[in-house]
């Protein structure tokens, strides 16, 4: 699918990796709807930057942990009247937890956004895409879905679920809607992490450096534009998966 003149919805598109994906789509001529929950100022900045690239942009606030918020998001997308050609499921939370001490609230806080919301957004987008005759969905996973992180057990579980959601949905929705995924590794330094620690993480990779959010955006665009890719999750991890 060529992106020029199309419309994409990026959940969690206000800042960090989601914003870079949104801007990358805009740079390829795609109109972009930026979803955000609390990052209103960042969403406004990203939306403005998208428009500066000569395409249409809108921002929609919604709490995707609540199924009502998902319904609201897609009702607002419909209200725009631009159609929907691409969904990038990027909204997620990364919260540490102890496996045995984690509460049901801890479980829900991560699973409801990282996995359930992605599932519901995929459903809503796919129905609209089927009605239009084509569409592409890209789920943003994580290397933690393939290599478990001791400090982030619920996050790892949620992203493993995203990988299977990608495969199941690809099979169920083909050939009208193509579904693929991207599993980023260290591509954007977490808030509060020292530069020294960030460099050390990059040095441990086969490529000897951390990545950039733009690397993830490039992979998303590749998956959208290559019409013969389906059900794949591409690791963008500097070789973390093979070391």
pLDDT surpassing 90 at residue 16:
yes
Q: According to the 3-state scheme, what is the secondary structure of 64-88?
A: CCCHHHHHHHHHHHHHHCCCCCEEE
pLDDT surpassing 90 at residue 243:
no
Please state, for a pLDDT cut of 70, what percent of the chain lies above it.
Answer: 100
Domain residues for 59? 7-235
Q: Whole-model pTM?
A: 0.96
Question: Is residue 1 included in any domain, yes or no?
Answer: no
Residue 67 CA to residue 73 CA, distance in Å, equals 10
pLDDT of residue 37: 97
Q: Per-residue pLDDT tens for 161-215?
A: 999 999 999 999 999 999 999 999 999 988 888 999 999 999 999 999 999 999 9
Question: Is residue 240 included in any domain, yes or no?
Answer: no
Question: Is residue 152 included in any domain, yes or no?
Answer: yes
* CATH code of the domain in which 54 resides: 3.40.50.720
Q: How many CA atoms lie within 13 A of 208 on its CB side?
A: 0
Question: Is residue 133 included in any domain, yes or no?
Answer: yes
Question: Is residue 126 included in any domain, yes or no?
Answer: yes
Backbone angles phi, psi at 9, to 5 degrees: -110, 125
Instruction: Give the chain's domain count.
Output: 1
């Amino acid at each position: 699918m060529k992106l020029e003149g199309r419309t994409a919805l990026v959940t969690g598109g206000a800042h960090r990796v989601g914003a870079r994906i949104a801007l990358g789509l805009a740079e390829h001529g795609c109109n972009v709807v930026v979803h955000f929950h609390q990052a209103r100022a960042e969403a406004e900045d990203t939306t403005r930057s998208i428009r500066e690239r000569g395409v249409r942009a809108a921002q929609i606030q919604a709490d995707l942990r609540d199924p009502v918020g998902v319904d609201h998001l897609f009702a607002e997308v419909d209200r725009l009247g631009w159609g929907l050609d691409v969904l990038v499921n990027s909204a997620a939370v990364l919260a540490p937890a102890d496996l045995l001490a984690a509460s049901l609230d801890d479980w829900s806080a991560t699973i409801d956004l990282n996995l359930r919301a992605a599932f519901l957004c995929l459903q809503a987008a796919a129905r609209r895409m089927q009605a239009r005759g084509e569409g592409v969905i890209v789920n943003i996973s994580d290397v933690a879905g393939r290599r478990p992180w001791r400090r982030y057990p619920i996050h790892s579980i949620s992203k493993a679920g995203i990988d299977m959601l990608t495969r199941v949905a690809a099979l169920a929705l083909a050939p009208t809607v193509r579904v693929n995924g991207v599993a980023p590794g260290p591509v954007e330094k977490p808030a509060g992490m020292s530069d020294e620690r960030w460099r050390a993480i990059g040095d441990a990779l086969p490529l000897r450096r951390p990545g950039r959010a733009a690397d993830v955006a490039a992979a998303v665009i590749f998956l959208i534009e290559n019409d013969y890719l389906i059900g794949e999750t591409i690791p963008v991890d500097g070789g973390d998966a093979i070391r």
